[in-house]
A and B are shown apart, each in its own frame.
Chain A
Amino acid sequence: MIIAFGILILTLIIGVPVSFAFLATTVYIIFSLGYDTSFLIPFGFSQMNNFLLLALPLFIMIGGIMDKGRIADKLIEFAELFVQKIKASLGIVVIFSCAIFGSISGSSVAALMAIGQIMSPKLKESGYPRGYSAALLSSASVLGMLIPPSTIMILFAWAGNQSVLASFLSTVIPGVILIILLSIINVVLMRKENIKKPNDINSTETMPVKFRKRTIAASPGLALPIIVLGSIYGGFMTPTEAAAVAVLYAIPVGFWVYKGLTKDNFLTVMKETAITTGVIMLMIYGTSLLSRMMVMEDIPNRLTDILLSVSENKFIILLMINLFLILMAMLIDDISGVLLLTPILLPVAVNIGVDPVHFAAILAVNLGMGNITPPTAPLLYFGSQVGKVPITEMIKPTIIMIIFAWLPTLMITTYLPELSLFLPKLILGY
Chain B
Amino acid sequence: MKKLGKFLYDGLLKFEKVFLILSSVLILLFVCATVFMRYLFKVDLYGFGEVVLLIAVWMYFIGASHGTFTKSHVNIDIVDLLIQNQNIRSGIKILSSLIVFLLCVIFSLWSFDQFLSGIESGEKSLVLRIPMYVPESSLFVGFLLMSLHSLINLIKDIKEAFFSKRELVLNDEKLG
Residues of A in contact with B (beta carbons under 8 Å apart):
11-20, 23-24, 27, 37-38, 41-42, 45, 48-51, 53-54, 57-58, 61, 236-237, 240-241, 244-245, 247-248, 267, 270-271, 273-279, 281-283, 331-333, 335-336, 375-376, 378, 381
Task: Output the residue of A237, A240, A247, A275 with the most chain B CB within 10 A.
Answer: A275
1/0 contact trace for B50-82 toward A, CB 8 Å?
001100110111111111001011111111010
Query: Which residues of B have CB within 8 Å of A332?
Result: 76
Contact: A245 with B32, CB < 8 Å? Answer: yes
Which of chain B's residues has its CB closest to A335's CB?
B74
Partner of A13, one of B21, B49, B76: B76
User: CA A278 – CA B24 in complex, angstroms?
Assistant: 11
User: CA A15 – CA B83 in complex, angstroms?
Assistant: 12
Contact: B73 with A54, CB < 8 Å? Answer: no
Which of chain B's residues has its CB closest to A283's CB?
B74
Partner of A271, one of B21, B49, B75, B103: B21
Contact: A237 with B28, CB < 8 Å? Answer: no
Q: Is B10 interfacial (CB-CB < 8 Å)?
A: no
Query: Which residues of B have CB within 8 Å of A20?
Result: 73, 99-100, 103
Known: A45-B136, A51-B49, A278-B59. A18 touches B75 (CB 8 A): yes
Contact: A248 with B78, CB < 8 Å? Answer: no
Q: Is B164 interfacial (CB-CB < 8 Å)?
A: no
Contact: A279 with B32, CB < 8 Å? Answer: no
User: CA A340 – CA B114 in complex, angstroms?
Assistant: 25
Known: A17-B74, A49-B57. A244 touches B63 (CB 8 A): no
Query: Which residues of B have CB within 8 Å of A237?
Result: 35
A–B Cβ pairs within 8 angstroms, 17 of them: A13-B76, A15-B93, A16-B100, A38-B114, A45-B114, A57-B56, A244-B28, A244-B31, A270-B20, A274-B20, A276-B63, A276-B67, A276-B72, A279-B74, A281-B61, A281-B63, A282-B60
User: CA A263 – CA B92 in complex, angstroms?
Assistant: 41
Interface size class of B (residues with CB under 8 A): 35 or more
Q: Is B131 interfacial (CB-CB < 8 Å)?
A: no
Known: A37-B113, A57-B59. A279 touches B28 (CB 8 A): no
Which of chain A's residues has its CB closest to B104's CB?
A20
Contact: A278 with B65, CB < 8 Å? Answer: yes
Contact: A278 with B60, CB < 8 Å? Answer: yes
Contact: A15 with B114, CB < 8 Å? Answer: no
Partner of A54, one of B27, B65, B77: B27
Q: Enumerate B88-116 residues with CB–CB distance to A below 8 Å.
A: 92-93, 95-96, 99-100, 103, 106-107, 110-111, 113-114
Q: Is chain B's interface secondary structure helix, strand, loop, or mixed overall?
A: helix
A-B pair count, CB < 8 Å, reads 168
Query: Which residues of B have CB within 8 Å of A42?
Result: 114, 136
Partner of A270, one of B21, B66, B77: B21
Contact: B78 with A376, CB < 8 Å? Answer: yes
Query: Which residues of A have CB within 8 Å of B135?
Result: 49
Query: Which residues of B have CB within 8 Å of A11?
Result: 96, 99
Contact: B95 with A274, CB < 8 Å? Answer: no
In the assembled complex, the CB of B34 is this many whole angstroms from the nearest CB of chain A, namely 7
In the assembled complex, the CB of A64 is this many whole angstroms from the nearest CB of chain B, namely 10
For the complex of A and B, the 8 pairs showing the least CB-CB separation, nearest first, are: A278-B63, A17-B73, A274-B20, A278-B64, A244-B31, A281-B60, A270-B24, A282-B64
Contact: A245 with B99, CB < 8 Å? Answer: no
Q: Is B139 interfacial (CB-CB < 8 Å)?
A: yes
User: CA A149 – CA B39 in complex, angstroms?
Assistant: 23
Query: Which residues of A have CB within 8 Å of B99?
Result: 11, 14, 16, 20, 24
- A45-B136, A277-B63 known, 18 other contacts, Cβ within 8 Å: A15-B78, A16-B99, A23-B107, A48-B60, A49-B53, A54-B27, A54-B52, A57-B56, A270-B25, A275-B66, A278-B60, A278-B63, A279-B63, A281-B64, A282-B60, A282-B64, A282-B73, A375-B76
Query: Which residues of A have CB within 8 Å of B52?
Result: 51, 54
